[in-house]
Chain A
């Protein structure tokens, strides 16, 4: 199982094993990682699962799609160069060790 690490705005880290194919958002929410709200459950409809992807993984994770791009523009925390909605990042072995920082404001 690929591992993913979440870093809270206050620096607290949580590392989880992700089910292959589950999104970074689903992995967090099902295990109660705070700060990822994800009210729409992964439909790319709410922009409340905003994360900043660690620079080392930015290329592997890739750029947001056009819809996600527009959602990020309106996210509660200002977007950064590696901003993504974590519901749109599916975990796989290629992303093992992924590190994301959770955006301070989601709603």
Chain B
């Protein structure tokens, strides 16, 4: 009988365990995570949870009895420090000194927020958002905070900014680049979000150069910009990207790039006994062309975990799922499908100022991705089209009279 050790009890780790059972795997499954909680949903932490609309129990991905019924051993609050694959069986050692023997391993170690490399970053009130502990910390200070400064105009920062503004706070978003969400969306979508947040009363500062964080009595009071201007802050929320947790992979000598664990289309690492899935992984994707991509999303965690579980169970099935993503900011629902990597043409359908529009991305004349804002029908049509390998002619996509789903062609 084969024993599987899964390191990391987030969305991907949980899904590997569940999918192993779905594929008839009968060996032992142990899921070890360093947080004090069982597997839970992260997306609500920057949205519903902050506003009290979700409690910790409601974030659980599965009920405790589910794991018992499916013979999945979940071990929270324990960190795997060392892994040895030199023997016939693998051996992991945790921070409690416990030793775990296994035959195959899955790394679902996720990522950690990039820390602000700025003077004053250690001040109290400078916060990051990744796990429940971070969200609880943010929530604790939320009601008393009048001024919120968000450093980093990516998804997590903009979601928190939108929530803070809805709760009546003075909100400033500081972005180092010349547009928001630059890594994930087109300039058209970036510009829409700048304007939309400004319309709601948030100050968005692009090309912002932060010199230091200032404080009093050890607590942050403001963010100083080049030129000396200080923006008052009771909370500084930092969302400047994440770093893949590749420590164990590096320790094992697996192939990594900047910490991200390199896998093939079967979620296999460079060691055949080890699979990896989720945020920590660098993977090939058919929609990404030749580029290897990192996909930091629930969809990727779930779908890649399913591939990894199949591989562990001896079923060869390459990862082909169409990536998709969403971000809720105030009353704006952004939905993304596909991969825009290497696009050479965009088509805007609808009028961004109406707060309902889509941007379609093309490469060499073929549809590869869409960003939709409050335009669910467009998003669903493109997601379906990409899933079946179809396209939508760019020259017809702007006609709002015609639903996109009627324009899909091979």
Contact = CB atoms under 8 A, between A and B. Distances in A.
20 contacts: A26-B58, A29-B61, A29-B62, A30-B61, A30-B66, A32-B18, A32-B62, A32-B70, A41-B41, A41-B44, A45-B326, A45-B335, A71-B376, A71-B380, A73-B380, A74-B377, A74-B380, A74-B381, A75-B380, A76-B384
A29 B302 CA distance: 14
Given A40-B326, A43-B43, A73 B377 contact: yes
B328 interface: yes
Interface of A: 22, 26, 29-32, 39-41, 43, 45-47, 67, 70-71, 73-76, 107
A87 B19 CA distance: 22
A40 B11 CA distance: 11
B396 interface: no
A32 B43 contact: no
A47 B299 contact: no
Contacts of A31: 62-63, 65-66
B115 interface: no
Given A70-B380, A107-B321, 20 more contacts: A30-B63, A31-B62, A31-B63, A31-B66, A39-B299, A39-B302, A41-B41, A41-B298, A43-B44, A43-B47, A43-B328, A45-B326, A46-B324, A47-B380, A70-B376, A71-B380, A73-B405, A74-B376, A74-B380, A74-B381
A74 B383 contact: yes
B333 interface: yes
Contacts of B376: 67, 70-71, 74
Nearest to A16: B63
A25 B66 CA distance: 15
Contacts of B65: 31
Given A32-B66, A32-B70, A70 B326 contact: no
A31 B44 CA distance: 20
Contacts of B41: 41
B19 to A, nearest CB: 12
B69 interface: yes
Interface string B379-410: 11101100000000000000000000100000
B61 A45 contact: no
Contacts of B333: 45, 67
B317 interface: no
A74 B385 CA distance: 11
A75 B379 CA distance: 11
Nearest to A71: B376
A41 B66 CA distance: 17
Give the most central of A40, A71, A75: most B CB within 10 Å.
A40
A51 to B, nearest CB: 17
A75 to B, nearest CB: 8
A30 B63 CA distance: 5
B95 interface: no
Interface in B127-143: none
| A-B pairs with lowest CB-CB distance, top 9 | A74-B380, A70-B376, A45-B326, A30-B63, A41-B41, A70-B377, A32-B66, A39-B302, A30-B62
Contacts of B381: 74
Contacts of A40: 43, 298, 326
B188 to A, nearest CB: 21
